[in-house]
Copies of this chain bind each other. A is one copy, B any other.
Amino acid sequence: MTGKNKHNQCPMESILGQIMGPWTPYILWLLDNEKTLRFGEIATRMPDISAKVLTDRLRKLEASGLINRDYQPTVPPTVNYSLTERGRELHGVLQGLNDVATRWDEEDRQKEGDAEIAAG
């Protein structure tokens, strides 16, 4: 997987093993923005992830102490996910990541547009 070693010498390795990996930062970003989301709501916002993998990521984030899982034994059941206090400490990083992503995306679209105009 994305990270199996815990923390040898460098603290950064540890955090990377927890929050990195295919869909993980995006899940954190969703929960950072929307406070609380049900399993199905996360799945809707990430159409390309399978239930199996989403469950896996949520379980790992829970094990890392970054998200809370609140199971309500209603019928049908309701499970709410939210960031823990530690998870919320990632806000600045996630925000910064999104800012850069948005900026690059705009720049790239701009360049694509220019290229199309130049090509006639």
Binding site for B on A (CB under 8 A): 1-3, 5, 7-8, 10-16, 20-22, 25-26, 29, 48, 86, 89-90, 92-93, 96-98, 100-105
Contacts and interface: CB of A to CB of B under 8 A. Distances in A.
A25 B93 CA distance: 13
Contacts of A12: 25-26, 29, 97-98, 101
A89 B93 contact: no
A103 to B, nearest CB: 8
Contacts of A97: 12, 15-16, 93
28 contacts: A2-B21, A3-B22, A7-B105, A8-B48, A10-B26, A11-B98, A11-B102, A12-B25, A12-B29, A12-B97, A13-B26, A15-B97, A15-B100, A15-B104, A16-B25, A16-B26, A16-B97, A16-B101, A20-B21, A20-B22, A20-B25, A86-B104, A89-B100, A89-B103, A90-B100, A92-B96, A93-B97, A93-B100
Contacts of A22: 1-3, 20
